[in-house]
Amino acid sequence: MRDSLIPELEGVDQYPGHLEVQISLHLIFFLWGYIKNIVYAEKIRNIQHLQDRITSAIETLTRDMVQKTWQEIECRLDVSRATNGAYIEMY
């Protein structure tokens, strides 16, 4: 089993050939972490408060943030394809 390209995804590469899915998980992890940090910045009082916090956190996402994250993923995919999936440090 080859090493994961993204340290946060260690162990996810149990299904060889699904590199694109693994790397797109990076986008999901980024977005979830970003939203979670905003939502839980204050104590949640009830379910309605939680829903309101989630909605307002999602509204703070900009098109630019998502596009830049997706460009980073595309870059990683290009490198992975060029190296035939070999492990490479990316800074």
pLDDT in tens, 39-74: 999 999 999 999 999 999 999 989 898 888 888 878
Q: What is the mean pLDDT of the chain?
A: 76
* pTM of the predicted model as reported, rounded to 2 decimal places: 0.55
| Separation between Cα atoms, residue 31 and residue 16, nearest integer Å | 25
Q: Is 83 helix (H, G, I), strand (E, B) or coil?
A: coil
Helix axes 19-39, 63-82, angle to 10 degrees: 150
Say if residues 70 and 27 touch (Cβ distance below 8 Å).
yes
What DSSP designation does 84 have? T
The answer to whether residue 18 scores a pLDDT higher than 90 is no
